Each structure stands twice: as structure tokens, then as C-alpha cells.
């Protein structure tokens, strides 16, 4: 049995889950970082937030010959990603909704690793035409499979109520708009961060993964 507990500041990785040009994800993550900076735990120095932008990670489609459960990483980009995630105690995922689900780049990034996600609390902030809620639900299922602990608190931004497109060409589908969250959105994020910090302070425990004969060998 492996038991660990965060003793220093809780390091929260703020993962930007979209990589497409003109994405709104970077602006949303920037707003989340601003909300986090006002959170009591961050102001007290007991939590820190670091942005992890998948566009900067530039991970190719999963190209590891050995399943992630074994931790036998062969490629430098995988080892860099592993180190970045292993250094975090918790996560906030910022994801848009693409066709009722998460972006392929985000699913790919999660699939690269396994033990680095295990037992760590995670929050999900989705955005989209209807708040990206279906992507959020799907992401929670994905994170459960890599044994992350998804907190109950949710946050969602809707394109038509939480972004300002004044001054943009209404016929331009690439106009990113300006993030302008409605009342209560910041409180939703703050509540999520509170749950994440509390969970990260609790001892983590879990049985070692038995890989011999694992279905993960079938790929």
C-alpha cells in the first residue's frame, strides 16, 4: 500500500485542453488563473497554480509502444510530459466541447500517462454553446479510468452568456470574443479550487497496479 500526502504548497496544474488556432481556451485559463490568484489558499501561499498548455507541449498522437500503465516511456516528449504532470498535486482541466466530447488533443494527453494521474484531485471547467457540459461529463469518465479523483464542484461557461462579441463581425465564426463571465462563475471556480485543495491535503492511498496479464496488454 502506498500512502502519500502533500506537505508543501498544493501545486495545481491548469491544463488548457484545446490546441486549435483561435481557441478560447487560453483566455478561459487566464481568467481561471486570475480567480485562483484571489483564492485564500493561493494568497496564503498554501497553493500555487501553473498553466500547462497542450499547444506548447506539442504531443504527437500517442506513439509509445508500451502501454502507459507500465511507465516505460521511450520518447523524450513523453518523459517531459510525465515530469510536468508528476510535479503537480492536482489539476483543473479547461475543455471546450467538440461533437459531444473533449478535443482529441486532450484525450491524447491523458492517454499518454497513467500513474502520474493516480489519486490526484481534478476539477473540470468546460465551455461551449451549451456550457460544454457533455464534454465535461465525458472528461470525468476518462479521468476516472486513470484513477484521478474528480471533485464534485463543476464550472461551465456558455459562449452566448459568458463571452462578449461586441465589435466582432457577426459573420466571422473565428471571432474569439472577450471572456466576460456572468455573475456566479467566479464563485463556481473558487468552490472547485477549495475542494481540490482540501482533497490534495488528504493522504492518498492505492494498491500497486498489477500489470501482469492486464487487459492493457491488448492494444
Q: Which residue has the higher pLDDT, 91 or 217?
A: 91
At residue 212, the 3 state secondary structure works out as coil
pLDDT at 143: 98
Q: Quote the mean pLDDT of the chain.
A: 90
pLDDT tens profile 125-161: 999 999 999 999 999 999 999 999 999 999 999 998 9
**Distance (Å, whole) CA 102 – CA 124:** 11
**Distance (Å, whole) CA 94 – CA 156:** 9
pLDDT at 203: 84
* Closest by Cα among 199, 160, 196 to 35: 196
pLDDT tens profile 173-196: 777 788 999 999 999 999 999 999
Query: H helices within the chain, ranges in order?
Result: 25-37, 40-43, 54-57, 76-86, 104-111, 133-145, 159-162, 185-201
pLDDT at 5: 60
**Distance (Å, whole) CA 193 – CA 187:** 10
* Domains by residue range for the chain, with CATH: 9-166+177-202 (3.40.50.360)
pLDDT tens profile 13-60: 999 999 999 899 999 999 999 999 999 999 999 999 999 999 999 999
CB 96 within 8 A of CB 18: yes
User: Which of these ranges, 94-98, 102-106, 207-211, has the smallest mean pLDDT?
Assistant: 207-211
- The reported pTM is 0.89
Amino acid at each position: 500500500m502506498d500512502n502519500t500526502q502533500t506537505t508543501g504548497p498544493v501545486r495545481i496544474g491548469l491544463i488548457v485542453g484545446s490546441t486549435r488556432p483561435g481557441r478560447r481556451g487560453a483566455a478561459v485559463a487566464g481568467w481561471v488563473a486570475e480567480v485562483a490568484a484571489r483564492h485564500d489558499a493561493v494568497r496564503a501561499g498554501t497553493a500555487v497554480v501553473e498553466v500547462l498548455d497542450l499547444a506548447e507541449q506539442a504531443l504527437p498522437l500517442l506513439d509509445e509502444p508500451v502501454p502507459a500503465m507500465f511507465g516505460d516511456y521511450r520518447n523524450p516528449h513523453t518523459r517531459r510530459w510525465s515530469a510536468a504532470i508528476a510535479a503537480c498535486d492536482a489539476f483543473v482541466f479547461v475543455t471546450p466541447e467538440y461533437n459531444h466530447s473533449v478535443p482529441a488533443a486532450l484525450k491524447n494527453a491523458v492517454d499518454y500517462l497513467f500513474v502520474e494521474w493516480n489519486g490526484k484531485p481534478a476539477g473540470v471547467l468546460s465551455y461551449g454553446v451549451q456550457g460544454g457540459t457533455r464534454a465535461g461529463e465525458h472528461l470525468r469518465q476518462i479521468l476516472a479510468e486513470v484513477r484521478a479523483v474528480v471533485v464534485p464542484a463543476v464550472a461551465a461557461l456558455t459562449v452566448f452568456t459568458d463571452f462578449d462579441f461586441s465589435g466582432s463581425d457577426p459573420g466571422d465564426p473565428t471571432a474569439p470574443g472577450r471572456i466576460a463571465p456572468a455573475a456566479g462563475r467566479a464563485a463556481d471556480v473558487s468552490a472547485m479550487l477549495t475542494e481540490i485543495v482540501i482533497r490534495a491535503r488528504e493522504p492518498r492511498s492505492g494498491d500497486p497496479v498489477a500489470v501482469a496479464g492486464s487487459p492493457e496488454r491488448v492494444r
